[in-house]
Amino acid sequence: MEAAGGGSDAWAPRIMGILNVTPDSFSDGGSYEDVGRALAHATELMEQGADIIDIGGESTRPGAERIDPEDERRRVLPVVRELADRRIPVSIDTVNAGTAAEAVAAGALIVNDVSGGLADPGMAEVVADSGVHFVAMHWRGAAGLEASYGDVVREVREELRERIAELVVAGLRPEQIIIDPGLGFAKDAEHNWALLGRLPELVGLGHGVLVGASRKRFLGALLPEGAAMRERDAPTAVVSALAAQAGAWAVRVHDVRATRTALDVWTAWERGRLGIRPEEGGA
């Protein structure tokens, strides 16, 4: 499917660079609260190969406290406006319809809602009226909810199918909807790996699939005890390449450079496998 930020290469998924303008996000909280630093980091992410900048003003980590939507808007809107003015594709990461509406008015092209529109009943109307793309994540409740599934892939697939149908009834066009399996949200490591390993089953729903594995705890579990957060960027990049192989529409990451390299390797591999000469499909 097509959406904001057409991808640096037609073969590879889009890279959504994470920009948290929060004091308490699990990986980079407090690093980019200042507007100037946020804009500088967004520029750096684009230079490293991002296609979209995903701006969040409220942490969704387990145990995070909800904030007043006015505070969220105060954090994100100046950054959205400035990046949109620079013609940088922007996604707004929010569960609040009011924030989504103002961000879209400021130039955001995608609304990325970890609740899939369930947290705020006004979200579907905002997205339907604006016509922007909408990322509907699989969500059973706030972060930290106990994970309980039989066949996690089958259940997530069916719950996403139901959510898509509800969003269409609410006025969204099917082509507006992107889905996200919600790795780490009411899911443990075993569930996350099952969803990644069977990602084509979600791609088969016929909507773009966003994969958000970056620096999450289940990747940290693969590393030596006490490993720094940034050491999770290498396994994140590997997941990005494997997600590309599975047909993902986009990957959402903190370290754009590592993922861009991984996707470039995957693209070259695929061209070699298919016997496509560089001049036939780019460098």
Distance (Å, whole) CA 261 – CA 254:
14
Strand partners, 53: 17, 90
Catalytic residue numbers? 216, 252
Q: Which parts of the chain fold into alpha helices (H)?
A: 35-47, 69-85, 97-105, 123-130, 152-169, 189-197, 199-203, 217-220, 233-246, 256-274, 278-281
Q: What single DSSP character describes residue 207?
A: S
Nearest CA to 13 out of 3, 22, 23 is that of 3
Find how far residue 281's CA is from the centre of its chain: 27
Decide if 210 contacts 179 (C-beta within 8 A): yes
